[in-house]
Amino acid sequence: MVGIVLVSHSYRIAVGAAELAREMGGPDVRLETAGGLDTPDHAIGTDAVLVMAAIERAWSDDGVLVLMDLGSAVLSAEMALDLLPEERRAGVVLCEAPFVEGAVAAAVTAKLGASLDDVAREARGGLAGKVAHLGMDVEDETASEVVVDEGSSTATITVGNPHGLHARPAARFVQTASAFDARVDVRNLTNGRGPANAASLNAIAILGATEGHQLEISASGPQAAEVVAALSSLAERNFDEHPSSGPPATSMPVADTGAETVGMADGVLRGHPASPGIAIGPIAHFHVPTIDVPEGRADDADAELRALDDALEATAIAVAAQRSAIVVRAGAQEAEIFDAHLLFLRDEAVLVPARTAIRDDHATAAQAWRAAIGNTAAAWDDLDDPYLRARAADLRSIGDQVLAHIVGVELSAPRLTTEGVLVAADLTPADTAHLDPDMTLGIATAHGGPTSHAAVLARSLGIPAIVGVGPAILALVEGTTVVLDGDDGSVLVEPDPDTTARIGTERGRRLTLLREMKVRAGEPAMTTDGTPIEVAANVGRPDEVGPAVAAGADGVGLFRTEFLFMDRTTMPDEDEQTEAYRAAAEALAGRPLLLRTLDAGADKPIPYLEQPVESNPFLGVRGVRLGLARPELLRTQLRAVLRVAQDHPVRVMFPMVATTDELDGAMASLEGARDDLNSTATLETGVMVEVPSAALIASALAAKVDFLSIGTNDLTQYTLAADRGNEHVAGLSDALHPAVLRLIRTTVEGANTHGRWVGVCGELAGDPTATALLLGLGVRELSMSAPAIAVVKHAVRDVDLTSAEAIASRVLAVASASQVREILVQA
């Protein structure tokens, strides 16, 4: 049976239309929907990745018919087609039929076992009943549909956007024009440029349309009148541009890249502190290194054309994935820039000259593409408006991504070749993991929160970092000198020489202090009254253990094993895992190794695990839930853990436990793994407390295990309902909020009833200002990024437990994080 996919901007419309179609076609029609965006509230919009997933779900060897509502639904469906495996594309028809009537007609016809062509034809005729009923001539209507270029229509619109038709509004223009069966040309009446084909983003942008310019739209074809009406209405809506979008008005050395004024005042940009320390140096934007394109003529034009198409497809997949990630993290408006990037990849103004050079001039795909991008970007460079001119950078950046695919260069890892402060929109954990701490003086990102994994990694590398500064940081000119303060979250732009000297001295003072603390970092830390506190390291790979021990770690208090599963295409098997855990244990030379079982999902996706798309992955199948849903995965890992525990002091703990049933399931899996191996290994077991429910039932959990370790990153996220990776709520996501501190206290009390120890392995453990408080609350183990160990051990040695307990009772009585901070400062 032919499958049917309904693509709508609105989740509800898609689901409603599907319900109606099923009502007519029957419950077993293969009908799938892709409505709205992949956000918890299904915000209005369309997403190529969702459409592709819906097509895959509806897949049938008889083919799939896709019906779309308006505008970008069509574009997303086209992109989805590009994302599908090549062999499937021929089996999909994107059908221009009316959405609701077409869905009903298609469902009824598909149910009868009709072919894809027949289902499509019936869907196209879906309006016939309504037309006949309302007394119109059905045959004439149908006849006019096939006459191209018959009608024509023109209109003049005025550009009202303060920054003209830059990438986002131009993309909306092209998307809207492309949704109709009409050829649209545009002429800029104000500066005489044009005509430009409205199907080309580059052609539209090169019209140089700035605020107040008048554009003449001429359309021909069956839907000429409709497309002109739609474009006029789009112009009246200022191309759906949000009033806050656009470049900054600032006298700072800012490149015109569309940044907003977020976080900028008096030459200082503000973000969220993510990794302590001061960095002074020139900024270096994370961008692609120069790609060498080999000289020489190509012999096989078809092979070169295929190479170009493959690279375009691979880049489209990567951009679509980035788009989806940004929609979830920063919202649909921020993600629209990716629509422009996707349009560049199919823009005739670039593709036609590139293909012609391959076919007619024996150019290689790389040479042809580089020349086509270069020429088009040069045309952007010639525009009068600086803001539009700067869009050339977007084109070059996407062009480089394609070029990298063609020549087979890896672009994912940002690298600085001279010392500098790395600036990026955001960094993935993998990007951050590849940074060279000797060259990377500091990191500043436009997006992300302080407990995002990129921030966690920056801390582990000891690189000062600030996240969530906003797009203004991206607008700074390459090489601009900045002072980045990872403690207070500020970036001072182009400081005067006096300020630079003063901050340089302060930096030197802090470094000297740190050196002094490092001298004693290898010794155990005790409070003034002699209570030993274990200060351990958080690691993600075995090769981080040696440096952690050298930094003074008493052991590993959190091995995030999911990092072993990332950056690869297949799962590490039992032997490979055993080898990795054994290497970590050996590097610890008798110190304890605490392995956390796989914590995948949400912000740590592992592509090959093929988890279903979830509307709210942070509340979905992640952590131990994944291990229980995929028992073989957990049991294999636990066998590897037990094999190492046979010879080394090993602890194991389960992430994201919310109920005693989950813990029972995980412990049963451990017993199963023991049985598999006939293992007698001794092993301490524990639970991560990172969900409020776990803190509240700590006593019941503690009865079943040896220790509890508090993940303050997630515990804060779930307690305050603030996504840890979303810079817009980073202010809320504060582990020093009394609500979180009370849950820590509740956890300790629960554990104490069974004589169990409690540790903290979230980022709060590495904050020396919180050390006394955590010990006063009853925490006895702290695990953190290795660079923080020396500082925290120093802080532990200063703690008198009786006064720490007094501090703890005071903070438990207040109601806000700022009051907690006041108490800590006074103490």
Which tokens sit at 509? 């003072």
Task: Answer yes or no: are the C-beta atoms of 596 and 659 closer than 8 Å.
Answer: no
Of residues 564, 544, 554, the one with CA closest to residue 462 = 544
Which residues pair with residue 264 across a beta bridge? 269
In the list ligand PEP, Mg ion, none, the entry touching 51 (Cβ below 5 to 8 angstroms by class) is none
Closer to ligand PEP by CB, 263 or 762: give it: 762
CB atoms within 10 A of CB 395: 24
**Least distance (Å) from Mg ion to the CB of residue 437?**
24
Burial class (CB in 10 A: 0-12, 13-18, 19+), 610: exposed
Closer to ligand PEP by CB, 557 or 768: give it: 557
690 binding Mg ion? (CB under 5 A): yes
Which tokens sit at 532? 């030993």
**Least distance (Å) from ligand PEP to the CB of residue 729?**
16
560 binding ligand PEP? (CB under 6 A): yes
**Least distance (Å) from Mg ion to the CB of residue 652?**
16
What does the alpha-carbon distance between residue 215 and residue 155 come to, in Å, rounded to a whole number? 8
Which residues pair with residue 492 across a beta bridge? 268, 483
SS (H, E, C) 5-66: EEEECCHHHHHHHHHHHHHHHCCCCCEEEEECCCCCCCCCCCCHHHHHHHHHHHCCCCCEEE
Closer to ligand PEP by CB, 63 or 711: give it: 711
Q: What is the dihedral of CA 339, 343, 345, 346, to 10 degrees?
A: 150
711 binding ligand PEP? (CB under 6 A): yes
> Could you give the count of Cα atoms lying within 13 Å of 687 in the half-sphere of its Cβ?
33
What does the alpha-carbon distance between residue 338 and residue 171 come to, in Å, rounded to a whole number? 10
- Among 555, 711, 766, 778, interactor with Mg ion by CB under 5 A: 711
Task: Answer yes or no: are the C-beta atoms of 445 and 489 closer than 8 Å.
Answer: no
Mapped onto helix, strand or coil, the DSSP state of residue 482 is strand
Task: Answer yes or no: are the C-beta atoms of 8 and 69 closer than 8 Å.
Answer: yes
**Least distance (Å) from Mg ion to the CB of residue 655?**
6
- Among 188, 202, 490, 713, interactor with ligand PEP by CB under 6 A: 713
- Local structure of residue 611 (DSSP, 8 states): P
Among the options 453, 648, 737, 794, which is catalytic? 453
- Among 69, 714, 734, 767, interactor with ligand PEP by CB under 6 A: 714
- Of the candidate spans 139-147, 274-282, 707-715, 741-749, the one that interacts with ligand PEP by CB under 6 A turns out to be 707-715
712 binding ligand PEP? (CB under 6 A): yes
**Least distance (Å) from Mg ion to the CB of residue 618?**
10
- Of the candidate spans 546-554, 712-720, 744-752, 811-819, the one that interacts with ligand PEP by CB under 6 A turns out to be 712-720
544 binding ligand PEP? (CB under 6 A): no
761 binding ligand PEP? (CB under 6 A): yes
- Of the candidate spans 260-268, 486-494, 580-588, 710-718, the one that interacts with Mg ion by CB under 5 A turns out to be 710-718
561 binding ligand PEP? (CB under 6 A): no
What does the alpha-carbon distance between residue 176 and residue 234 come to, in Å, rounded to a whole number? 8
- Among 263, 429, 762, 776, interactor with ligand PEP by CB under 6 A: 762
Cis preceding-peptide flag for 353 (omega within 30 of 0): no
What does the alpha-carbon distance between residue 330 and residue 348 come to, in Å, rounded to a whole number? 30
Backbone angles phi and psi of 667, in degrees to 5: -65, -35
- Of the candidate spans 137-145, 202-210, 435-443, 711-719, the one that interacts with ligand PEP by CB under 6 A turns out to be 711-719
Task: Answer yes or no: are the C-beta atoms of 805 and 738 closer than 8 Å.
Answer: no
Reading phi first (left if > 0) and then psi (alpha if -120 to 50, else beta), residue 555 is in left
**Least distance (Å) from Mg ion to the CB of residue 724?**
9
- Among 714, 734, 763, 767, interactor with Mg ion by CB under 5 A: 714
Site string for ligand PEP, 634-673 (x = CB under 6 A): ----------------------------------------
Q: Which residue is nearest to Mg ion (CB)?
A: 714
In the list Mg ion, ligand PEP, none, the entry touching 762 (Cβ below 5 to 8 angstroms by class) is ligand PEP
Mapped onto helix, strand or coil, the DSSP state of residue 686 is strand
Closer to Mg ion by CB, 483 or 556: give it: 556
Closer to ligand PEP by CB, 464 or 766: give it: 766
**Least distance (Å) from ligand PEP to the CB of residue 657?**
12
Asked if 95 is an active-site residue, the reply is no
Asked if 761 is an active-site residue, the reply is yes
Contact residues toward ligand PEP (CB under 6 A) are 558, 560, 599, 690, 711-714, 761-762
As annotated, the active-site residues are 453, 761
Contact residues toward Mg ion (CB under 5 A) are 690, 711, 714
